[in-house]
Amino acid sequence: MTSPPRRAPRAGIDPDPAKTWLRRAWPLVRAHRALLITSLTLSFIGLIVQVQIPDLVRIGIDTALVDRTASLNRYVVLIAILAVVQGVINFLARLYLLRTAYELEYDLRNIVFNHLMRMSYGFYDRVQSGELMSRATSDIRAVQMYLAFGPSILVQCMIAGIAFALMLSINAPLAVVAMAAMPVIAVLGVRMRKAVFPVSWLIQSRLAGVATVVDENIQGVRIVKAFAAEQRQINSLAAAADGVRWAYTTDARIRSRWMPAMDNLSRVGLALVLLVGGLMVLDGHATIGTIVAFNSYVLMLQPPFRMLGMIIMMGQRAAASAQRIYEIVDTPPDISEKSETPPSPPPRGDLRFEGVHFSYPDGTVALRGLDLHIAPGETVALVGATGSGKSTVGKLTARFYDAGGGRVLLDGQDVRDYRLSTLRDRIGIVPDEPFLFSVSLHENIAFGRPGASRDEVEAAARAAGADEFISQLPDGYDTVVGERGYTLSGGQRQRVAIARALLLNPPVLILDDATSAVDVRVEHEIHASLRGLMAGRTTIVVAHRLATIGLAERVVLIDDGRVVADGTHAGLLAHSPKYRQVLAAQEVHA
């Protein structure tokens, strides 16, 4: 069931933020240098061979056609052979270049994702997931393209130099004439890219805008329909699409202003070669073959000069993308393990909050000096108004966030002194809106213990009241759920999530409103089995319904981030007006 381990990234990003982006990416490129150098060497050889061909045409024409001193066949065969050789070499060069590019992309992707997985809740509170997705795809691609294709374009420019040297040796004045247009083409190319570049950014961001509109409306299509808002949403897409159309049209207008100039310049080059070369032929200073060969060179050498502009812009784009990727990689996880964690005490399930203060990254104060002790094996119901801090208690226990003040102790040891994996093995949290992956129910339940057997998974599902509906599905535990699979109701998802937590058999179990979407009849059934499971386990249930509160022998009332009452349900009901008030408010919703 578990997939085989894959290759880890060959290298990382240089952690020194003072270095330039290229220097920081260098370890990655170095790690794939064998492939990259092979590809560059091959493309260099291929281009050398290519440069020979016009020269052979020249000699062929001059000797076989003009002077009639050699056989034409020889040159035809020779050129054909060189063409084949060049084809094979270019094929290999291209293959290795693309492989380098995709290896780099693979590494970058993994580096970014590994880092994202290490980031804690606070990071995800701050960043927008849509933006993260875009960084993970388009920015990685921009960097990869530049790292792999940049050197290859440089090789092509080098070849232009070699070809120029060859042309100089054949006919120096004509070589200068033939190359005269190239710098102008290069300058025009750079200028065109500069003009197009801001627009291409605009195109990117507007395309992302369209994608967001489409994505949100498809995700939220049921709401759109429920409010008969189709026409309005169609209009909002049209507005976004119009923005894209405008940006593309502008891009096309700019390009079409520059492209003919560049194309015509190369034709001017051909005309100049014919004019100057022709005069030289008439004077006997050049041969017909030279004119033909130089024509080919003019056409062959143009692309690298045109691409000069592209490589400069690719470099700028890659630099910006790299900075955004580094921003992620440079953000240290705010929840990290101590380098040396003391040995963990044996798990008993003793939980203690000592004067815990906590604010979310955006400044919302959630806990203001919370004191609470839960003895091993005790079941406590947390009751409180919405926003009073109940869920925050669970999140701090599992150290999704660190307390701003005070301490959270598990079995007498500060949770910050645990290895994270140990801590989270000992605490099972079921959130109120559980997330299911697009895999089978078995895999969803066994998420925390991928090796669990079908029997174990079924036992956990039975305890969570999920076995009944799962076994009625045609594919049972092999039913794929989530986005691309069978749709479960809210209550069914919660039961799957409870099963997922139970399978880990943690000494501390936190059910955060975990049965809020389960209907009352089913909840009763789950409670029966939960009672058995809670025995001997420290359990916190965040509860709204009286029935759920009834699972606990002790009720803790939280208000505004503090414990304001602590006792039995009956005791609180009798002595705490606040408790009566909270219950009254919640029974209405239940």
**Stretch binding ligand ADP (CB under 6 A), from 165-173, 228-236, 294-302, 358-366:** 358-366
Q: CB of residue 370 vs ligand ADP: minimum separation in angstroms?
A: 11
Count the residues in the chain.
590
The distance of closest approach from Cβ of residue 391 to Mg ion in the complex, given in angstroms and rounded to an integer, is 3
Number of residues counted as binding ligand ADP (CB under 6 A): 13
Residue closest to 255 by CA, chosen among 303, 195, 317, 182: 195
CB nearer to ligand ADP: give 48 or 385.
385
Return the structure tokens found at 219. 């995700």
Among 50, 321, 391, 492, binds Mg ion (CB under 5 A): 391
Residue 433 contacts ligand ADP per CB under 6 A: no
The amino acid that residue 231 corresponds to is Q
Between 239 and 585, name the residue whose CB sits nearer to Mg ion.
585
x-or-dash pattern for Mg ion, window 153-182, by CB under 5 A? ------------------------------
Torsion sign (Cα): 446, 450, 453, 454: positive
For residue 173, what are its two tokens?
Answer: 């004045």
DSSP 65: I
Residue 364 near ligand ADP by CB under 6 A = yes
Closer CB to ligand ADP, 295 or 586, in the complex: 586
For position 494 contacting Mg ion by CB under 5 A, the verdict is no
- For residue 406 the two structure tokens come to 């005070």
Contacts of 92 (CB under 8 A, 6+ apart): 39, 42
Choose between 295 and 586: whose C-beta lies nearer to Mg ion: 586
> Which residues 6+ apart lie within 8 Å of 206 measured at CB?
240, 243, 244, 247
Q: How far is the CB of 368 from ligand ADP (least distance, A)?
A: 11
Does residue 392 belong to the site contacting ligand ADP (CB under 6 A)? Answer: yes
Q: Which residue has the tokens 């982006």?
A: 21
Q: How far apart are the first and last CA of the chain?
A: 40
* 161 touching ligand ADP, by CB under 6 A: no
Buried-state track 351-376, b at ≥16 Cβ within 10 A, e below 16 = bbbbebebbbeeeeebbeebebebee
Residues paired with residue 383 on neighbouring β-strands, in sequence order: 557
By a kind-dependent CB cut-off of 5 to 8 A, residue 364 interacts, out of Mg ion, ligand ADP, none, with ligand ADP
Strand pairing category for 405-410 and 351-359: antiparallel
Nearer to ligand ADP, 350 or 559 (CB): 559
- What x-and-dash track marks residues 90-129 binding ligand ADP by CB under 6 A? -----------------------------------x----
386 binds ligand ADP (CB under 6 A): yes
Single-letter residue type at 269: G
Can you tell me which of 24, 193, 306, 390 binds ligand ADP, judged by CB under 6 A?
390
**From residue 365 to residue 384, what is the string marking binding to ligand ADP with x (rule CB under 6 A)?**
-x-----------------x
CA pair distance 517, 520, nearest whole angstrom:
9
d(CA 63, CA 427): 87
Residues of this chain that bind Mg ion (CB under 5 A): 391
Residues of this chain that bind ligand ADP (CB under 6 A): 125, 360, 362, 364, 366, 384, 386-392
